Structure 1
Amino acid sequence: MIEQDKRSAVYCLYQEGMNKSKISKELKIDRKTVQRIIDQKGVIPESERCDKIEIDHELLRELYIDCEGWAQRMHEILTEEKGIKIGYSTLTRKLRELELGKKKNQRCDRVCDVAGEEMQHDTTTYYRKIGDKKIRIVASLLYFRYSKVRYLKFYRSFDRFKMKCFIHEALDFYKYCAKICIIDNTNLARLCGAGKNAVIVPEMEEFSKKYGFKFICHEIGHSNRKAGNERSFYTVESNFLPGRTFKNMEDINSQGFDWATKKMYNRPMSKTNLIPAKAFEFEKSYLVKIPIYVTPPYIFYERICDQYGYISVDTNHYWVPGKTRFKAKVFEYSDSIKIYHNRKFLIEYNFPPDGTKNELFSPKGYPKPVYQPAYRKKSSTNEEKKLRGVSEEINLYLNFAIKSMGKKSIHLLENYIV
């Protein structure tokens, strides 16, 4: 809306003889608007409003009970049977004002910052350029509410095992934990239910007991209950990610570690001037000190050692000393694997850099394996064509084998025919 002073100027200029097109050009106002202001003699017109719709509150309450709370049916009765012209949105607004139907969302509990009481965990996703490629990454962040201490790490994907590895790594770094860890209702630690009725996954409940804390879900609609964590993600978006380049996942995690545990750890908070490092030193006496040693999280599975002496883990192949064709027991940790045969420890490997696929690894200090698989990176398309041309029976068998076992069966079948 054009203010009154400008309207008066338009009308005065017109009264003094300036034509409408020049007024429009000088004051940068549309010609039609200039004409309308002149017709109104430079005065803002008074807007007339239709009479406000008033409906008896008792009538609405009775209809609400009769219609079992269905506002659409109430609207039909009011407009068709009662002859009251009212919009559906107006009706639902009046129902909310009368507190009929869905209850108003109550403000989440206001909890004071108490030393040693609470930490928060959450994840969020970003799309960032890592190296030469833009990929989806998951940021996991642990936040101590009282001291504002953070621990940050990025992953390509995030599951329950990685969540345990992350929390173990964070708590092992700070050596202390709070009594409770606030999580949302989509967290991997939650099994079912929500808020105070949430049931924690037994595996995660046992995991948290090792360190001395327990997981608690906030109420639905009360995401501000972990506002410190949400604010920390905003700080990541506004302070850490902009203006930085990352060569690979190792680089972004190295920079993120320094940013969270060194830079932000010693930087005063903007409003309170609280320094997390000093606050954390004070809070330590109220926190739960984690045990001297806690077994790092791991997952266990078995692999068959092939004829070349390798086992496959996450598309890469690791050489195992000793005989071939045996069942190896693999313990996978966050950054390494340990390989056993029965109860005998054989060898340990650190994981290669992120993105390494289909590579052969053998330990330093051991003689290099004599025989190496030469065709693992090659497609089996030519082998499949050759086998299908042998006979119709082989062709039918291949259809069955590929459907049930996948293309790994093709190599075995070719060796059998040859």
Structure 2
Amino acid sequence: MRPKQRAGQYHFAPGEEMQHDTSPHTVVIAGRERLLQCASLVLCYSRMQYAQVFPSFDRFACRVFLSEAIQFLGGAASRCVVDGSSVVRVRGWGDNAVYPDDMEALAERFGFGFWVHAPGDADRSGRVERPFHYIENNFYKGRDFSSLGDCNHQLRAWCERKNLRFQKHIRAVPTELFAVERSTLQPLPLHVPEVYQLHVRRVDTEGYVNLHSNRYSMPDAVLGQTLTLHETRTRVRVFDGKRLVFDHERAESGTATRVTIPGHHPRGAVASQKAAPTAEDRTLRAADPALAELVDALVRRHGGRAVRSVRQLHKIYLDYPTDAVVDAVKTALAYNLLDLGRIERMVLRNLAGTYFRLPLSRSEDEDDG
């Protein structure tokens, strides 16, 4: 049996360390239960805390959160301790950890360094782990949230009030300790650029660009063009080179939302959605009125998916004599028959006696014998 070891405590000097982690929380948003990721950042000396919730927590969300949190706290501690999540690190632990370029750039901007604690050593990030229980059992209880944005707005205000309260386990008020710690934090840059993610999208034929299953309208002047999207936490800015085409409010990812701005698609300027006729369509219409009538019937039956049927009819037209095809089509139209497989068999039946002297039935084959 492994011998027990005496438990210890971690003590931190002002401005020495901050800790970041996430925790899955089930939250009722607009009357529906949702599994969200709660992200938190805590200054280890003063216990000042900032938290927000996200539908999912990837590297972009992490960069957004840490940038917001450090600005909320007024600066960064020298070291940010995180767990072994691949969101922050590429590989390794402790001093040997390797971080992606965008996370390194974020740390350099705010003047701190990441440090990944060893696996299984959750106590090393205890300053940020323990408050998650308090958020679950104090913040969410008894509150209504109309949207994800409303939840985060209330959570920010809750953090501000919590930081002003006396906390028994430290026998102090975080804001009073923060008065000592503030001067030891890494100062904020003169300008903190908004965190964004780049995407390249082509404007589709309906005048929209697609991002995370959502569609954002574009002016008709840029139909078919390839544009650059700058995605932030709350906005989707669309650029044509350096020119801003439009600034959309960002819809939550994966909600299949269609965002249409009045004036982007004026009714009088809407182009006809009817597709140009294909080469096969034109050939069949020019060959015979019966074929043109069958093409129209196929379009009425299948709509935009009629292209395949028209191509099949065109192949029948090329493979067999025109007279035999037209006769079969006229007969089919008389009975409202649009099954091209049966029409082709009717063509073969017309050709059997005229060109090949093929038996039409088993009885004829026996009579010839």
> What's 1:212 paired with?
111
Query: CA offsets, 1:30-88, max 9 Å, x none?
Result: xxxxxxxxxxxxxxxxxxxxxxxxxxxxxxxxxxxxxxxxxxxxxxxxxxxxxxxxxxx
Q: What's the offset of the Cα at 1:152?
A: 0.8
> What's 2:140 paired with?
241
Q: For residues 17-416 of structure 1, what are the structure 2 equivalents within 5 Å?
A: 93=1, 96=2, 110-261=9-160, 263-314=161-212, 315-320=214-219, 322-352=221-251, 357-362=256-261, 369-370=266-267, 371=269, 386-390=306-310
In the alignment, the residues of structure 1 paired with residue 65 and residue 271 of structure 2 have an alpha-carbon distance, to the nearest angstrom, of 36
Structure 1 residues 114 and 309, CA, compared in 2 at 3 Å: closer, same or farther? same
Query: CA offsets, 1:176-219, max 9 Å, x none?
Result: 11001010112511111223432222321122111101110112
Q: What's the offset of the Cα at 1:328?
A: 1.0
Query: CA offsets, 1:129-158, max 9 Å, x none?
Result: 222221111100111111111111111111
In the alignment, the residues of structure 1 paired with residue 86 and residue 165 of structure 2 have an alpha-carbon distance, to the nearest angstrom, of 30
In the alignment, the residues of structure 1 paired with residue 15 and residue 74 of structure 2 have an alpha-carbon distance, to the nearest angstrom, of 13
Query: CA offsets, 1:97-127, max 9 Å, x none?
Result: 6xxxxxx7x6787431210111010001012
Q: In structure 2, what residue type is equivalent to 1:345?
A: L
Structure 1 residues 276 and 311, CA, compared in 2 at 3 Å: closer, same or farther? same
Q: Is the 8 A contact 1:328 1:341 kept in 2?
A: yes
Q: Is the 8 A contact 1:165 1:334 kept in 2?
A: yes
User: Match of 1:191, SS?
Assistant: coil
Structure 1 residues 355 and 266, CA, compared in 2 at 3 Å: closer, same or farther? farther
Structure 2 unaligned runs (5+)?
274-300, 315-369
Structure 1 residues 206 and 320, CA, compared in 2 at 3 Å: closer, same or farther? same
In the alignment, the residues of structure 2 paired with residue 326 and residue 145 of structure 1 have an alpha-carbon distance, to the nearest angstrom, of 50
Aligned residues: percent identity? Answer: 27
Q: What's the offset of the Cα at 1:385?
A: 6.0
Query: CA offsets, 1:355-377, max 9 Å, x none?
Result: 853323226xx5753456999xx
Q: What's the offset of the Cα at 1:174?
A: 2.5
In the alignment, the residues of structure 2 paired with residue 384 and residue 300 of structure 1 have an alpha-carbon distance, to the nearest angstrom, of 34
Structure-1-length-normalised TM-score: 0.62
In the alignment, the residues of structure 1 paired with residue 313 and residue 55 of structure 2 have an alpha-carbon distance, to the nearest angstrom, of 44
Q: Is the 8 A contact 2:83 2:116 kept in 1?
A: yes
Structure 1 residues 186 and 132, CA, compared in 2 at 3 Å: closer, same or farther? same
Q: Is the 8 A contact 2:218 2:264 kept in 1?
A: no
Q: Is the 8 A contact 2:79 2:115 kept in 1?
A: yes
Considering only aligned residues, what root-mean-square deviation do their CA atoms show, in Å? 2.9
How many aligned residue pairs are there? 286
> Which has the larger displacement, 117-126 or 328-337?
328-337
In the alignment, the residues of structure 2 paired with residue 235 and residue 187 of structure 1 have an alpha-carbon distance, to the nearest angstrom, of 26
Q: What's the offset of the Cα at 1:337?
A: 1.7
Structure 1 residues 344 and 248, CA, compared in 2 at 3 Å: closer, same or farther? closer
In the alignment, the residues of structure 1 paired with residue 8 and residue 271 of structure 2 have an alpha-carbon distance, to the nearest angstrom, of 62
